[in-house]
Amino acid sequence: MWNEYFRSMMMLMVMAGLLRSSYELNHPQSDIQATLYLEEKEPLQKQWAEKAVRRYAETQEKKWRNWNEAMFEPVK
């Protein structure tokens, strides 16, 4: 029972691998297209990273400011 199950699963894996490899061979992506795609994405990713760092720093500053105010309030 288990041998038949594993054999059928192995056959499905082999068939999926062959199908994928035939697709990749028939639809190659040229290096020029990949390079252009990466060059288009880099400026956006750099802007997003800078924005994320700036917002993280602002959030941390706000958090520590609130913490300092809460910890060092004058006792009434």
Q: Could you read off the pLDDT of 2-38 as tens digits, one per residue?
A: 688 888 899 999 999 999 998 888 876 666 666 666 6
Please indicate, yes or no, if residue 15 is contained in any of the structural domains.
yes
- CA atoms 57, 58, 61, 67: torsion sign: negative
The answer to whether residue 56 is domain-embedded is yes
Q: Pick the residue with more confidence: 70 or 29?
A: 70
Q: Residue 55: which domain range?
A: 2-71
Model confidence, pTM: 0.41
Task: Choose among 66, 63, 67, 43: nearest CA to 55.
Answer: 63
In a domain, 12, yes or no: yes
Dump pLDDT digits (tens) for 29-53. Answer: 666 666 666 666 777 788 888 999 9
CA distance 64 to 71: 10
Considering the domain boundaries, does residue 33 fall inside one? Answer: yes
The total number of structural domains in the chain stands at: 1
The verdict on residue 50 lying in a domain is yes
Does residue 76 sit within a domain?
no
69 has a pLDDT exceeding 80: yes
Spatial CA neighbour of 42 closest among 32, 54, 50? 50
